[in-house]
Amino acid sequence: MASEGAERIIELYQRKAADWIQRRARTKLIEKPWLDRFQALLPSSGAILDLGCGAAVPMADYLIGLGHPVTGVDSSKAMIDACGKRFPGQEWIVGDMRQLALQRAFSGILAWDSFFHLGYDDQRLMFPVFRAHAAPSAALMFTSGPAHGEAIGEFGGERLYHASLDAAEYRSLLDRNGFRVVSHVVEDPDCGGHTIWLAQRM
């Protein structure tokens, strides 16, 4: 399943970028309470790295509005082009989060509805990437599945791959890479059923 699904994510979002941008622009910012918790851990005007930023609306848009410079990374050039047109004062990079090496650290790292498209091993390998880009006391927030396993959703009439490790392994990976868990909620009913991890670099 992973070989057939996870490896198609980049190509799928590139082809369906316009559909995704339109759909996301119509959705309410149900993530606001979690973005506020994340932002509360950051220094004033602390820089944020948004991995899988999409077209930056509504999440990066909200954080930019709070005064945080955002560097967004997405594998879809169409998404990044949309970011640049809407927010020319921010930094937008076409790239694969798995290969990221920016040689600088951020006050906050966000991987919302993006990290969970990676297969098991790629997720494990992301934690050193998170650490390499995390300043002291940096906040890290990402979404996962509720339990270990793979799942296939739907986007634009096509199959959309998701995977998750179990909670114990995420906790272990965070700890081994210097992060403590601040909050973890499984299938938050107030946030569209998202399973959310909020951590902070120790």
pLDDT tens sequence across 47-73: 999 999 999 999 999 999 999 999 999
Residue pair 86/53 in contact by the 8 Å Cβ criterion: no
Domain boundaries, the chain: 2-201
Whole-angstrom distance between the N-terminal and C-terminal Cα of the chain?
Answer: 36
Q: What is the pLDDT of residues 145-160, one digit of tens each?
A: 999 999 887 666 777 7
Per-residue pLDDT band for 92 (boundaries 50, 70, 90) equals very high
Pairing of the two strands 70-74 and 48-51: parallel
Quick count: other Cβ atoms within 10 Å of Cβ 61?
16
For domain 2-201, give its CATH number from 3.40.50.150, 3.40.190.10, 3.40.640.10, 2.60.210.10.
3.40.50.150
pTM of model > 0.85: yes
Q: Rounded mean pLDDT of the chain?
A: 91
How many angstroms separate the CA atoms of 50 and 48, rounded? 6
pLDDT at position 9 is 62
Residue pair 51/111 in contact by the 8 Å Cβ criterion: yes
Q: Quick one: 158 exposed, middle or buried, by C-beta within 10 A (0-12, 13-18, 19+)? A: exposed
Phi/psi region, residue 113 (left: phi>0; alpha: psi -120 to 50; beta: rest), is: left
Taking residues 190-196, report their average pLDDT: 97
